[in-house]
Amino acid sequence: MASRPFEGINILDFTWTATGPASVNPLAFYGATVIKVESRGRFDALGSLGPFKDGIPEPERSYSFAYTQAGKRLSITLNLSHPRGQEIIRKLVEWADIVADSYVTGTMERWGLDYENLKKIKPDIIMMRTCMHGHTGPLAKQPGQGFILTALSGVDSLISWPDRAPSGAYGPFTDYVVPQLNTISIIAALDYRRRTGKGQYIDQSQHEATLGLIAPLILDYTVNKRDITGHGNRQPNAAPHGIYRCQGQERWCAVAVFTDAEWESFCKVIGKPSLASDPKFNTLAKRKENEDALDRVVEEWTSQRPPEEVMKLMQSSGVAAGLVSNARDMAEDRQFKHYNFFENREHPVQKNIPFSHGPNFRLSDEEYELGRSNLLGEHNDYVYTSILGFSDEEFVNLVAEGVI
C-alpha cells in the first residue's frame, strides 16, 4: 500500500469532549499519529457522561467518549502541574506538527502552551484552537457546549413549529457542525506548511463557525429585516411537503412534491390519478393554498401502509420520500450497510463498540483506518520510551514521582 495521506504527521491532542476530537479524527483515519494527553485527575469529560455500557458509570464505559474517539490515538497521562511536566511537554511539542486544544482561554496558557511559547519550541507549529467564542474578546473565557450553542447559532429556531417556541435540535448538534470546519482548516494549514514552511494559528469561535451556514438567512435580516423562523415541515416551493403518519406505532414517512410532474406521479401512486387535475390541487399555488386538505389526503393513504412501503412506492415513481428512521432502522438500513457505516470495534471494557464510524466520504484510492477509544494512559509505556526516548528506568521513576 502506498504511504497514507497523513503518514508522518504528528498531532499533540489536548482536545476533549466532542468537537475537538471530532476535528482531529479524519487525520487519524488517514494515517496521522495522534497522542492524546490526559491526566489522572483530569480525564476527558465525556468519560463521566452517560449512557454507560451495562449502566456502570465508569469513563471507559461511556458511549459518547467511545463515539468521539473513533480515530486511532495513543493515550498518555501527564501531570502538567508537576515541575517535570514542562520538560516532557517540550519534548512532545518538538515531536508534534500540530497542537490541538478545545479549552477556553486560560487553560493552555496556564501550562505555558500558548501559541507564542509553542512557536519558540517549534517555529513551524500549527496550533488549532476551538472554543465557544474564540480566543479574543470579552467572552474568550466563557465556557459552553454544543447542547446550548444551537440557540445562539440559529439552528434551534429552524427546527420549530410556527405556532410554538422553538423545539430545537437534538443533542449537541453544533458539535457535529464545527469540527468539520476545523478539519478543513487543519488540512489546509498542513498543505500551506508543506509548500511554504510556515506554521499557522487557527482560532475557531464555534459560534462564528456556525453562522456561515445560515448566511442567506442573515442576509434576509440585514437586507429585508426578516427574522429567522421555522415553519414546521412545510416549504414555500413544495406541497405536499411533510412528515406523515404511517401504519404502526410511531412510524412516519417524509414525502415531498416539488413539480407538477411529481404531483401527477404522486396521484398515480396513491391510486387517484384524477386528483392530479383537481382544480384545488393542480398547480403548486393551489396546493399551497389548500395544503391542510392536501395533507389529509396524503395521510389518509400513508396511514394504511408501513413507511418502508410508502418510501419504495414513491421513490420508484420519482417522488421524494424517506422513512423517518429510528436507531433500529438506521442499523438495518441497506444504504448504510452498503457504505459500511456502522462498524464494530473491539474494546477491552465495552467488548464491542458497534457504533463506530470512519470518514463520512469515500476516497477511490485510499483506505481509512478506524481506531477505538483508549483506556486512560493506555500507551504511556510506548510513548514515553519509544517516542520520547526515556529509558525503562526513567519511565518507572516518572510514574513513581507522579509525573505520569
Partner 1 sequence: MAEKNEGMLSPYRVLDLTDEKGYFGAKLLGDLGADVIKIEKPAGDPGRSLGPFFHDEPGLEKSLFWMGLNTNKRGITLNLETAGGQEVFRQLCKTADIVIESFSPGYMESIGLGYEVLAKINPELIMTSISGFGQSGPYRDYKAPSIVLWALSGQSFVTGDADRAPLSTSYPIPYFFGGMQAAIGSLIAIFHRAVTGRGQYVDVPSILSLAWATGSDPQGLWLNDKAIVTRSGRYWPRPQPKPDGTIGYVNVPLTYPCKDGGVKFFPFVEQGQLPSTNGMTQWAIAEGCGTEAAKTVDWSTWNWQVVSQELVDDITGCFAALYMKHTKAELFEEAQKREIQLYPVFTAEDMLKFPQLSIRNFWEKVAHPELGETFTYPGAFTQLGEGSCRIKRRAPLIGEHNKEIYTGEMGMSENDMMLLKQKGDI
Phi/psi at 247 (5° precision): -65, 135
One of 10, 39, 48, 117 touching partner 1 (CB under 8 A): 48
One of 121, 284, 313, 320 touching partner 1 (CB under 8 A): 320
Tell me how far apart the alpha carbons of residues 67 and 176 are, in angstroms, rounded to a whole number: 12
55 binds partner 1 (CB under 8 A): yes
Tell the smallest beta-carbon distance from residue 303 to partner 1 (Å). Answer: 12
One of 91, 114, 147, 349 touching partner 1 (CB under 8 A): 147
Closest by CA position to 256, among listed 277, 287, 282, 228 = 287
Phi/psi at 18 (5° precision): -100, -50
**Interacting residues with partner 1 between 103 and 142 (CB under 8 A):** 115, 133-134, 136-139, 142
HSE (side-chain half, CA atoms, 13 Å) at 211: 10
Tell the smallest beta-carbon distance from residue 388 to partner 1 (Å). Answer: 26
One of 80, 269, 323, 370 touching partner 1 (CB under 8 A): 323
Nearest CB to partner 1, comparing residues 34 and 202: 202
**Interacting residues with partner 1 between 299 and 318 (CB under 8 A):** 315, 318
246 with 252: CB under 8 angstroms? yes
27 with 369: CB under 8 angstroms? no
Tell the smallest beta-carbon distance from residue 88 to partner 1 (Å). Answer: 23
Q: Which stretch binds partner 1 (CB under 8 A): 43-51, 73-81, 271-279, 281-289?
A: 43-51
Cα angle value 268/273/277 (rounded, 5°): 130
157 binds partner 1 (CB under 8 A): yes
Look at strands 98-101 and 252-256 and give their pairing: unpaired
Please, which residues bridge with residue 265 across strands? none
One of 84, 114, 341, 399 touching partner 1 (CB under 8 A): 341
Nearest CB to partner 1, comparing residues 4 and 91: 4
343 binds partner 1 (CB under 8 A): no
DSSP string, 241-274: EEEEE-SSTT-EEEEE--SHHHHHHHHHHTT-GG
**Interacting residues with partner 1 between 256 and 295 (CB under 8 A):** 256, 258
CA distances from 281 to 63, 288, 298 (A): 48, 8, 12
One of 145, 282, 385, 397 touching partner 1 (CB under 8 A): 145
Which residue's C-alpha cell is 475557531? Answer: 204
Closest by CA position to 130, among listed 154, 158, 97, 107 = 107
Tell the smallest beta-carbon distance from residue 40 to partner 1 (Å). Answer: 12
Closest by CA position to 121, among listed 99, 101, 93 = 93
One of 43, 281, 384, 390 touching partner 1 (CB under 8 A): 43
Nearest CB to partner 1, comparing residues 139 and 396: 139
Tell the smallest beta-carbon distance from residue 97 to partner 1 (Å). Answer: 12
**Interacting residues with partner 1 between 180 and 209 (CB under 8 A):** 180-185, 187-192, 194-196, 198-205, 207-209
Q: Where are the alpha helices (DSSP H) in 257-321?
A: 260-269, 284-289, 291-302, 307-316
376 binds partner 1 (CB under 8 A): no
247 binds partner 1 (CB under 8 A): no
Q: Which stretch binds partner 1 (CB under 8 A): 76-84, 214-222, 275-283, 390-398?
A: 214-222
Look at strands 33-38 and 10-13 and give their pairing: parallel
Q: Which stretch binds partner 1 (CB under 8 A): 90-98, 282-290, 356-364, 374-382?
A: 356-364
One of 271, 335, 346, 393 touching partner 1 (CB under 8 A): 335
Q: Where are the alpha helices (DSSP H) in 69-214?
A: 85-95, 107-110, 115-121, 146-152, 155-158, 174-196, 206-211
- Find the helix or strand (DSSP H, E) in which 90 lies: helix 85-95
245 binds partner 1 (CB under 8 A): yes
79 with 108: CB under 8 angstroms? no
AA letter at 124: D
**Interacting residues with partner 1 between 64 and 83 (CB under 8 A):** 64, 66-68
Tell me how far apart the alpha carbons of residues 60 and 314 are, in angstroms, rounded to a whole number: 45
Report the SS3 class of residue 201.
strand
One of 214, 284, 396, 399 touching partner 1 (CB under 8 A): 214
One of 160, 290, 385, 397 touching partner 1 (CB under 8 A): 160
Tell the smallest beta-carbon distance from residue 376 to partner 1 (Å). Answer: 12
